Amino acid sequence: LAKTTQPISMDSYEGQEVNITCSHNNIATNDYITWYQQFPSQGPRFIIQGYKTKVTNEVASLFIPADRKSSTLSLPRVSLSDTAVYYCLVTNAGNMLTFGGGTRLMVKP
């Protein structure tokens, strides 16, 4: 599966929009982009998944350009409770999930 690269950490303030970009240059045709969120002392939880263009749910939006070599997770109007580690994964049905180091988001008041 394609390796992903994302920033190690990001800081933001309450009420701001946060965009976390992930690169996956070697993504294959059948791969999807999936994001998980992990709060301190908890297991990760699924946030969003997409294949191309834009996907939006109640938690976040995911933007994927036409070449699919990168993706951006967008969190609208973050709050302190959005402080977490966000993992970008390239996934393919039938294969195991591979977690990288993730992006540690710190939301400040």
Partner 1 sequence: DAGITQSPRHKVTETGTPVTLRCHQTENHRYMYWYRQDPGHGLRLIHYSYGVKDTDKGEVSDGYSVSRSKTEDFLLTLESATSSQTSVYFCAISESVATRLDEQFFGPGTRLTVL
Query: Which residues of the chain form contacts with partner 1 (CB under 8 A)?
Result: 32, 34, 41-46, 49, 87, 91, 93-102
Residue 14 CB, shortest distance to partner 1, in Å, is 26
Q: Specify the residue, 66 or 93, whose C-beta has the smaller distance to partner 1.
A: 93
Collapsing DSSP to helix, strand or coil, 10 comes out as strand
Q: State which residue, 16 or 49, has the beta carbon closest to partner 1.
A: 49
Q: Which two tokens stand for residue 51?
A: 């294949």
Helix, strand, coil percentages (3-state) for the chain, rounded to 5, are 5, 50, 50
Question: Looking at beta carbons only, is 14 or 106 nearer to partner 1?
Answer: 106
Q: What amino acid occupies position 95?
A: N
